Amino acid sequence: MTISKMIITLKISNVNLNNGQPYEILVFSDEDLQEFLALGTVTKRKKQYVMIIHHRQITIECPILKLNDGSYQLIWPSFKLPHRPYPVFVYLFAATLYLSSNYSLRLTAQKVIKTFGLATFSHTNICRLLIKLYKALPYLIRYGAQITEAFGSIVSQVVKRKHWDEQKYKNAQQLNELICYAQQSPPEFGNWLANQYWQGTNSFII
């Protein structure tokens, strides 16, 4: 079976972070899958992906859709990133926390671990994800008005680093203005932004 592409959806974006069970399996409900039935048939086969959050292992079952033309597509939840153990909102939270504080990369990573109950979170993750987010900035700017409409207006100041030039500082301000909502409502904002970015670019935000 060859899967041609992924369909990203917000349908199961609300992960129950307060569930005390150490293991959980998340599945798409029949209601979640209803909108895809016009495209084809949901097969019995699924792909499983593991995610870690709040000291819990969450297994996500992603259905495979057989399209009317005979090809296959994978239905993918917006909060999951490929080849990464944590939800997208964890990474966005880390980025805006670093930009809006005087924390070092290592201290920021420690704060992320404590906030989301992670086993590990390397400070090098923040360096890499910031590079990717800066590259995505021209696309993210397009969502500024939509972000304000959906999540309101938030004032968040960037703490300028000594090694930044003026252009880097400006880019940091622009980026933080767009992702600072990840500190206020991490899951909802992160899932929404990941979906918007996918719809506009057919790529994952990070």
Read off the pLDDT of residues 139-190 as tens digits, 9 standing for 90 and up: 999 999 999 999 998 889 999 999 999 999 999 999 999 999 999 988 889 9
Element of type H or E holding 75: strand 72-77
How many residues are present in the chain? Answer: 206
Q: Which DSSP state fits 183?
A: G
Q: What is the pLDDT of residues 105-140, one digit of tens each?
A: 999 999 999 999 999 999 999 999 999 999 999 999
Measured on CA atoms in the order 184, 120, 21, 13, is the torsion positive or negative? positive
pLDDT at 199: 86
Which residue matches tokens 């153990």?
A: 85
Distance from C-alpha of 198 to C-alpha of 150, rounded to nearest angstrom:
18
pLDDT at 12: 46
